[in-house]
Amino acid sequence: MTRLALCLSLAAAALGCGEDGRSVAGGSAGGPVPEVTPELMERWETELSNWGRWGQEDQRGTLNLITPEKSRDAAHLVRDGVTVSLGHFVSEEEALDSQTFAPTEHWMTAVDPETGAVRFALDAVSFSLHDGMLSHLDALCHYATTRNGERVIYNGYPQNLDENGCKDLAIDRMGPGYVTRGVLVDMPLLRGVAYLEPSTPITVSDLEEWEAFARVDVGPGDALLVRTGRWARRELEGPWSYGREGAGLHASVLPWLHARGVALLVGDAVNDVQPSGVEGRNRPIHDLTQVFMGLPLVDNGYLKDVAEEAARRRRWAFMVSWQISRVPGGTASPFNAIATF
């Protein structure tokens, strides 16, 4: 897709694209970036903790905020019956952002051993659940912290791992699936660019500026989708090490996420801005949300199509539904999510 076509598809008037399709605004999110120190992060581990909030045996974390009432209200947001996928699947492409933890392989399984001819339409696929091209929901056992010399995960569970996966907080313990309100924060649209430049931090002031623009307030039980334009940049510029140099949320948004009661956080890269800007913390958003808040994250969410549909309607709140692949002991699940307008 050309830059001009991309701008047009994302509502050129709002983007402020020139006649040649180039963005006329800068690629940085606005406002100063607050300082987050290691000491502040340590204090937040207590202040923002949800340990015990839903009981000592809870394994769903903030997904508990998606109540039956919340799901019914989300269904009422459907007006047009138009669905858009929020997931991106793995690719056999060898690139900086693919096959990052294990090779991706796809093969036909019913093959004549003598002739090599494929006899039936049967196949198999193998890939990493944390692949850089896969939209995936992290299990709450994925990140841990150290307490009294032991590794512990959300709600104080020991991080018990073996060859079969996680004993607690694995993806199969987090429920079959959910329906809730999704709220899209489209930072490239707000800034009038096709994508945020690598390493651009997103702060609370940016999120609240978006709320004012979109006339929507993020609230308890919402799935918050934060678009940086990772996939648009990849189309235009090619793959890059987005896990080391990617736009994303700055650590200073953590109290805001807790106060708003976000149930699921979806980013189109790794959620954390990279580098994080916090000494000693490579991914502070991951550290606090998964271990202390019990807030599940989706990395590599595919937010390009939903951004186009939302901009076309000028409506950035919609129903989101997803099914969890209940991998026994799994550390993640492919994010099989749909936005419905």
Q: For residue 154, what pLDDT band results from cuts at 50, 70 and 90?
A: very high
pLDDT score recorded for residue 116: 94
- Give the max Cα distance, the chain: 67
pLDDT score recorded for residue 32: 85
User: How is the chain split into domains, by residue range?
Assistant: 28-88+135-340
Q: What is the pLDDT of residues 58-84, one digit of tens each?
A: 999 999 999 999 999 999 999 999 999
pLDDT score recorded for residue 4: 34
β-partners of residue 333 are 137
Q: What is the pLDDT of residues 187-242, one digit of tens each?
A: 999 999 999 999 999 999 999 999 999 999 999 999 999 999 999 999 999 999 99
C-beta separation of 141 from 169 below 8 A: yes
Domain at 28-88+135-340, CATH from 1.10.20, 1.10.10, 3.10.450, 3.50.30: 3.50.30
Closest C-alpha among 183, 325, 318 to residue 257: 183
* Rounded Cα distance, 302 and 320, in Å: 13
* Tokens at 307, concatenated: 């951004």
Q: Torsion angle, CA of 55/60/64/69, rounded to 10 degrees?
A: -140
* Rounded Cα distance, 8 and 195, in Å: 14
pLDDT score recorded for residue 30: 64
Q: For residue 18, what pLDDT band results from cuts at 50, 70 and 90?
A: very low
Query: Could you tell me what percentage of the chain is helix, strand and coil, using 3-state DSSP and rounding each to the nearest 5?
Result: 30, 20, 50
Q: What is the pLDDT of residues 101-152, one digit of tens each?
A: 999 999 999 999 999 999 999 999 999 999 999 999 999 999 999 999 999 9
pLDDT score recorded for residue 198: 97
Alpha helices (runs of H) in the chain, residue ranges in sequence order: 3-9, 12-15, 38-47, 68-75, 187-191, 204-214, 230-237, 254-260, 284-288, 304-313
* Rounded Cα distance, 74 and 181, in Å: 5
* 5 has a pLDDT exceeding 80: no
